[in-house]
Amino acid sequence: MCEKLNACNQLVAQDILNIQLLAYKIEAELIGFDGIPQLNDTVESIMASKETFIGYNRSGKLAGFISYQVSGNELDICRLVVHPDCFRMGTANSLLKYIMNKYKYSIIDRYTVSTGSKNVPAIRLYKQFGFIPYQEIEISKGISICLLAKEKTQA
């Protein structure tokens, strides 16, 4: 079940951080880069974030979350994080579906997201939702991020 998280609450922010650190450590190993900014987050930085956080609960526990920011008619997905114990259980799918449905009839006409170019599972997931890679940016020698977008007019 998806629901809005109050990331300003210290206990909620701690839950978010715990899952985030576990998941991003795995991504860091996958892409061979431990400089992912979210690995440096703290409870305080999450509490101060301007992002909207939506959590997915499984058996009464936070299994994952998505965070985003809206600017004009664009929604930028900032984080899509799943607890490693819940990988391949549909958590990321559920969170993406929730966001897409929530803004289906809104002014949002473009969704954006970025991920490590070597994060094949994440890129595959976003492509399943109609996201199209449009740019790669090298952030460190041999390490790049893939920028993806989905226009609302796309099915």
State both tokens at 4: 């809005």
CATH number of domain containing 48: 3.40.630.30
What one-letter code names the amino acid at 80? Answer: L
110-116 vs 74-82, strand pairing mode = parallel
pLDDT digits (tens, 9 = 90+) for 40-96: 899 999 999 999 999 999 888 999 999 999 999 999 999 999 999 888 889 999 999
**Does 154 score more than 70 pLDDT?**
no
Distance of alpha carbon 34 from alpha carbon 31, whole angstroms: 9
Strand-pairing partners, residue 145, are 116, 137
Which ranges of the chain would DSSP assign to H, the alpha helix?
Answer: 10-31, 43-48, 91-102, 120-128
Domain that holds residue 84: 2-151
Domain count along the chain: 1
Which pair of structure tokens corresponds to residue 74?
């664009």
